[in-house]
Amino acid sequence: MVAGIKVVAAEITLDSPKTLREVGDKVRSDLDSGVAVLGGVIKGKVALLAIVTDDLTDRITAGDLVNRTAKIVGGKGGGRADMAQAGGSLTDKIGEAVRSVPQSVEAILQQ
């Protein structure tokens, strides 16, 4: 929890970009209100997905959140306010990127 907002951040095993979206959809359906960032490695590249529930998109956008996370893995991304994807090349930094999510949420809220 960050400032009363549920934050989920996880590194997951991926076999395709489709798997990332499927897991993201499942997390979104289980998340009443909150944000989530999922990340994994596919074919030697980092794939990230950020999800923000509709009630929070006026305070946090998935695009901002995924871009902050992607910087750590040497990448960038984009998408909608409620869901965004990013990629990166620094696969050894995925754990650090996932662990940074609560601090990124806090920084976004303070803007």
Amino acid at 47: A
List per-residue pLDDT tens for the chain, 111 residues long.
999 999 999 999 998 878 998 999 999 999 999 999 999 999 999 999 999 999 999 999 999 999 999 999 999 999 999 999 999 999 999 999 999 999 999 999 998
| Exposure letters 72-83 (e unless 16+ CB within 10 A, then b) | bbebebebeebb
User: Which numeric CATH code is attached to 6-109?
Assistant: 3.10.310.40
Alpha helical stretches, state H, 1-111: 17-30, 62-72, 94-99, 101-109
Is the backbone of residue 70 left (phi > 0), alpha (psi -120 to 50) or beta?
alpha
Q: Which pLDDT score, from 0 to 100, does residue 17 have? A: 79
Q: Which pLDDT score, from 0 to 100, does residue 101 have? A: 97
Q: Where are the domains of the chain?
A: 6-109
Q: Which pLDDT score, from 0 to 100, does residue 9 have? A: 96
Q: Which pLDDT score, from 0 to 100, does residue 111 have? A: 86
Rounded to whole angstroms, the Cα distance separating 89 from 56 reads 30
Q: Which pLDDT score, from 0 to 100, does residue 16 have? A: 85
Q: Which pLDDT score, from 0 to 100, does residue 104 have? A: 97
